Structure 1
């Protein structure tokens, strides 16, 4: 599986790959580009990644989640390049015997990808300005730049 891609994410094709006879629950998360952030109108986003490092990290995150929640399926893909409003920038799909595990694992995977993978976002605003970053703002909640929300949450 390609974890980092410059192509549009095909959610339907990914979902078709996500069914398993032992799974009673399939959870799909799509991180879509919205038209506003921090009180400004967004024109589009652009993502850059250290592709080989990010791919290895995503694979490790998926393997960690598979073991922790005994998942039948764990899939993740992240876009690079220009991503327009309403397009998916990242997708995570988890499948397990029960919904609680599928939901918890999905949240764990997207949080770790967002906060740990070497993927950088630049927001281009309609007023002509742009801003890099914004991938991890956990320090606002945890009070520590090195601590992430998922490390504190009681995840199954």
Structure 2
């Protein structure tokens, strides 16, 4: 009986390993045709687009979705964008803007299929120069550490965010 239960548990684990978790309706891949681009370019031909990184992965069998969400452009909040609670964020995964200098702000969000997670806002580029016809990528690097004393440790995630030219992968900010 024990082997049968272990076999069933292993089969469920393998089946669940094939699924991806997406936070709300945000895409898990920036090349997904369902990605919606917020157009703030006023119809400018060859307007640059800045994408905000998204990734899906598993840790200890739990599906995660980590992503950046744009919340402000040139000091103005984007429609409905921001942090509403520790588990409720909204923003944009791609924005089309006019060429030239812009200030951008975004949030880093990490959610998992168990319904836990969180995020941090306040990342940004206060003076990002965007060129016509170019594609950019706001992305991040992170490190994780356990802090506290044994028995009451907490996981601390440090995030550094920056902007790349999406085609050349060259860092353009900071």
Pair in the same fold by TM > 0.5: no
More strand by share: 2
Taking structure 1 as the reference length, what is the TM-score of the superposition?
0.33
Q: Which has the higher contact order (CA 8 A, sep 6+)?
A: 1
Taking structure 2 as the reference length, what is the TM-score of the superposition?
0.31
Q: Which has the larger radius of gyration?
A: 2
More helix by share: 1
